[in-house]
A and B are shown apart, each in its own frame.
Chain A
Amino acid sequence: MLDIPLWKRVLILGVVVIGLIWAMPNLFYGRVEAHNDALAAAEQAGFATEEQQAAIDGWPSWLPSGLVNLGLDLRGGAHLLAEVHVEDVYKSRMDSLWPELRRTLAEERDVIGAVRRVESPQDQLQVQIENADQMARAVEVARELSSPVVSISGAGQSDLEFTASGDVLTVQLSDAEKAATDDRTIQQSLEIVRRRVDEVGTREPTIQRQGADRILIQVPGIGSAAELKELIGTTAQLTFNPVVGTGSNPDAPAGLGNVVLPSQEDPDFYYTLEEAPVVTGEELTDASPSFDQNGQPAVEFRFNPSGARKFGAYTSANIGQPFAIVLDSEVISAPTIRDAITTGTGIISGSMNVDESTQLAVLLRAGALPAELTFLEERTIGPELGQDSIDAGKIASIVAIIGVVAYVVASYGIFGVFASIAVITNVILILAFMSGIGATLTLPGIAGIVLTVGTAVDANVIIYERIREELRRGKRVATSIDTGFREAMSAIIDANVTTFIAGLVMFFLGSGPVKGFAVTLTIGLVTSVFTAIYLTRLMIVAWLSRRRPKQLVL
Chain B
Amino acid sequence: MAFRLKLVPDQTSINFFRLQKYTFGLSAVLMVLSVILLLTMGLNFGIDFRGGTTIRTESTTDFVVSDYRDALTGLEIGDVSITEVFDPSFGEDRHVAQVRIGASEGTEAMTPDQIQTVEAALTEVDPNVSFVAVESVGPKVSSELIRTAVYAVLAASLGILFYIWIRFEWQFAVGGVVAIVHDVLLTMGIFAALQLRFDLSTIAALLTILGYSINDTVVVFDRLRENLIKFKNMPLVEVMNLSVNETLSRTIMTAVTTSIALFALFALGGDVIRGFVFAMLWGVLVGTYSSIYVAKNIVLWLGVKRDWSKPDPDKLPDQFTEQP
Contact = CB atoms under 8 A, between A and B. Distances in A.
A154 interface: no
A411 B7 CA distance: 9
Interface of A is mostly: helix
B262 A498 contact: no
Contacts of B36: none
Interface residues of A, number: 79
Interface in A504-554: 504-506, 509-514, 517-518, 521, 553-554
Interface in A374-411: 374-382, 384-385, 388-389, 392-393, 395-397, 399-401, 403-404, 407-408, 410-411
A377 B136 contact: yes
A218 to B, nearest CB: 13
A522 B138 CA distance: 30
Interface stretch (B17-25, B126-134, B292-300): B126-134
A140 interface: no
Contact of A498 (B56, B204, B218): B218
Contact of B167 (A379, A465, A494, A517): A494
A457 B253 CA distance: 9
Given A392-B89, A454-B260, A502 B109 contact: no
A469 B11 CA distance: 9
B250 A462 contact: yes
Contacts of B141: 81, 376-377
B265 A400 contact: yes
Contacts of A453: 261
B200 interface: yes
B204 A461 contact: no
B108 A375 contact: yes
A505 B152 CA distance: 6
A509 B151 contact: yes
Interface in B1-41: 1-6, 10-11
A389 B112 contact: no
Nearest to A72: B133
A412 interface: yes
B292 to A, nearest CB: 15
Nearest to B249: A465
B148 A510 contact: yes
A382 B110 CA distance: 18
B160 A491 contact: no
Given A447-B277, A451-B261, A461-B254, A377 B163 contact: no
B115 interface: yes
B6 to A, nearest CB: 7
B261 A502 contact: no
B176 to A, nearest CB: 8
A496 interface: yes
A514 B201 contact: yes
Nearest to B96: A385
A491 B167 CA distance: 11
A490 B222 contact: yes
A380 B10 contact: no
A61 interface: no
Interface stretch (A100-108, A130-138, A221-229): A221-229
A468 interface: yes
A226 B257 contact: no
B258 interface: yes
B261 A454 contact: yes
B181 interface: no
A497 interface: yes
B104 interface: no
Interface string B203-221: 1100110111011101101
A502 B160 contact: yes
Interface in A451-471: 451, 453-455, 457-458, 461-462, 465, 468-469
Given A377-B136, A513-B201, 20 more contacts: A225-B112, A381-B132, A384-B132, A385-B56, A400-B265, A413-B3, A446-B269, A447-B273, A447-B276, A454-B258, A455-B257, A458-B257, A458-B258, A465-B249, A491-B223, A495-B215, A497-B163, A501-B159, A509-B152, A514-B152
24 contacts: A229-B112, A375-B108, A376-B109, A378-B134, A378-B136, A379-B135, A379-B136, A382-B130, A389-B272, A396-B267, A407-B256, A443-B272, A444-B201, A451-B261, A455-B254, A455-B258, A461-B257, A491-B222, A504-B159, A506-B152, A513-B204, A514-B200, A517-B201, A554-B4
Interface of A: 73, 81, 83, 224-226, 229-230, 374-382, 384-385, 388-389, 392-393, 395-397, 399-401, 403-404, 407-408, 410-413, 443-444, 446-447, 450-451, 453-455, 457-458, 461-462, 465, 468-469, 472, 490-491, 494-499, 501-506, 509-514, 517-518, 521, 553-554
Interface of B: 1-6, 10-11, 56, 58, 89, 108-110, 112, 115-116, 130-138, 140-141, 145, 148, 151-152, 155-156, 159-160, 163-164, 167, 200-201, 203-204, 207-208, 210-212, 214-216, 218-219, 221-223, 246-247, 249-250, 253-254, 256-265, 267-270, 272-273, 276-277, 280
Top 8 nearest A-B pairs (CB, nearest first) are A454-B258, A499-B211, A454-B261, A226-B112, A392-B270, A502-B211, A382-B132, A400-B264
